[in-house]
């Protein structure tokens, strides 16, 4: 591969792969970033089925096509990685902690994240496109600031993830993350699994 960037995150004592991009800005991965070579060998236990005989005849063509498709497969898989659990061992000191910025108007505070050509923030702090989640964040709400009178700042409990207020104006990631059923963790896996099942069933004919 050529120049990929990975975001390693720490949540509740666990390491996560937040996402993979082409650069530090999290630009989606494209097939051009990968170079594939070699061959793929597929063999059958029984060589008497019609499928196996056809596989023997077209093995070279199948191998070439698979190698040709590998960059697209890798780009599709890595581009879909989001909050992939890697394992335990992340020290508690690495919990995410952040400061919420004060805004004069509630609408500006809840606006979409945006920067000008110099990299200065000109929009809201949290809503909008999220580089690591690869999706648009909505629902971050603001409340009267506890540190700046007549200003508004984001409510910790509404931030993406699980955050609580550590001190006024400072949000800290919770020690224990909610356990989910992983529905939708990898939208491409059910489709891949069905394809593998059909591929195995084809050997019966």
Nearest to 68 by CA among 43, 33, 39: 39
pLDDT for 165: 92
Give CA–CA dist 138/129, Å, rounded: 9
Give CA–CA dist 44/51, Å, rounded: 9
pLDDT for 155: 95
pLDDT for 106: 94
Give CA–CA dist 73/79, Å, rounded: 10
* DSSP symbols for 56-86: HHTHHHHHHHHHHHHHHHHHHHHHT--SEEE
pLDDT category, 187, cuts 50, 70, 90?
low
pLDDT category, 109, cuts 50, 70, 90?
very high
Pairing of strands 128-130, 14-21: unpaired
pLDDT for 182: 45
Average pLDDT over residues 108-137: 81
Angle, vertex CA 12, rays to CA 19 and CA 80, nearest 5: 20
Average pLDDT over residues 124-147: 84
Residue 147 has pLDDT above 80, yes or no: yes
Would you say the C-alpha torsion 96, 80, 7, 124 has a positive or negative sign?
negative
pLDDT category, 136, cuts 50, 70, 90?
confident
Exposure pattern of 9-22 as b/e (b: 16+ CB <10 Å)?
bbbbeebbbbbbbb
Give CA–CA dist 167/177, Å, rounded: 20
Query: Taking the model in full, what pTM does it have?
Result: 0.53
Greater confidence (32 vs 186) lies with 32
Give CA–CA dist 188/77, Å, rounded: 8
Average pLDDT over residues 123-139: 79
Average pLDDT over residues 153-178: 84
């Amino acid at each position: 591969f050529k120049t990929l960037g990975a975001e390693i995150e720490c949540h509740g004592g666990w390491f996560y792969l937040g996402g993979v991009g082409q650069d530090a800005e999290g630009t989606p991965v494209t097939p051009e970033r990968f170079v594939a070579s070699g061959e793929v060998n597929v063999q059958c236990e029984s060589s008497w089925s019609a499928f196996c005989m056809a596989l023997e005849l077209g093995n070279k063509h199948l191998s070439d096509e698979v190698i040709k498709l590998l960059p697209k497969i890798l780009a599709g898989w890595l581009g879909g990685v989001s909050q992939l659990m890697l394992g335990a061992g992340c020290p508690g000191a690495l919990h995410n902690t952040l400061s919420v910025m004060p805004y004069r108007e509630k609408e500006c505070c809840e606006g979409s994240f945006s920067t000008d050509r110099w990299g200065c923030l000109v929009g809201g702090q949290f809503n909008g496109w999220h580089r690591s989640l690869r999706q648009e964040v909505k629902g971050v709400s603001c409340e009267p600031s506890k540190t700046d009178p007549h200003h508004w700042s984001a409510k910790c409990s509404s931030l993406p993830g699980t955050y609580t207020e550590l001190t006024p104006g400072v949000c800290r990631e919770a020690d224990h993350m909610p356990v989910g059923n992983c529905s939708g963790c990898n939208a491409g896996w059910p489709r891949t699994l069905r394809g593998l099942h059909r591929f195995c069933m084809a050997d019966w004919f």
